[in-house]
């Protein structure tokens, strides 16, 4: 058995970033005043914008960009593999898709974000499943997530 400790490795982080351990961050970029709660994993090639808060137990997979002044609630899961061949892509990153989150986006606890683009000034309700791009600011909820009202 081989045990690999979680931790922080090869992270480009501003000196004002706060990370609560245990967390697992590697190969990512964190801008100024980012907060990362405990039990969070942020994988390589992820970029997190200034003043964004990421709460505990969230998972941000490769190829995700999060804008400035965002809030990622507890237990939010980002997905980069759409199982396009009917099974997991495994290590074949050429089959993975990217996700782009704009500025001033709040994502409620236990939401799931598939590979999509979300514009600025959006609220995603707790437990929502975002399966399609969001190009219109507002509040979205449900499975699949739909716009329920303006902000």
| Active site (annotated) includes residue 74 | no
Q: Check whether 5 has a pLDDT greater than 90.
A: no
Q: What is the pLDDT of residue 87?
A: 84
Q: What is the pLDDT of residue 17?
A: 98
Catalytic residue among 57, 74, 95, 97: 57
Identify which of 65, 24, 33, 18 has the alpha carbon closest to the alpha carbon of residue 10.
24
Q: What is the pLDDT of residue 42?
A: 98
**Ranges of each domain in the chain:** 8-82+96-149
pLDDT band at residue 146, thresholds of 50, 70 and 90?
very high
Match domain 8-82+96-149 to its CATH number in 2.40.50.140, 3.40.228.10, 3.40.50.620, 2.160.10.10: 2.160.10.10
How do strand 71-72 and strand 105-107 relate by DSSP bridges? Answer: parallel
Model pLDDT for residues 65-102, shown as the tens digit of each residue: 999 999 999 999 999 988 888 888 877 888 889 999 99
The mean pLDDT value for 9-30 works out to 98
3-state SS, residue 57: coil
């Amino acid at each position: 058995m081989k045990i690999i400790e979680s931790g922080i490795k090869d992270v480009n982080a501003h000196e004002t970033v706060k990370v609560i351990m245990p967390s697992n961050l590697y190969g990512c970029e964190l801008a100024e005043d980012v907060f990362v709660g405990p039990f969070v994993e942020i994988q390589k090639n992820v970029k997190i914008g200034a003043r964004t808060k990421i709460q505990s137990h969230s998972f941000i997979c490769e190829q995700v960009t999060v804008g400035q002044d965002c809030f990622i609630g507890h237990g939010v899961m980002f997905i980069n593999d759409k199982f396009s061949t009917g099974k997991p892509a495994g290590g074949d990153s050429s089959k993975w898709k990217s996700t782009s989150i704009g500025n001033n986006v709040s994502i409620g606890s236990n939401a799931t974000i598939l590979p999509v683009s979300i514009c600025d000034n959006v609220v995603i309700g707790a437990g929502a499943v975002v399966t399609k791009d969001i190009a219109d600011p507002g509040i979205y909820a449900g499975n699949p997530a739909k716009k329920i009202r303006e902000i």
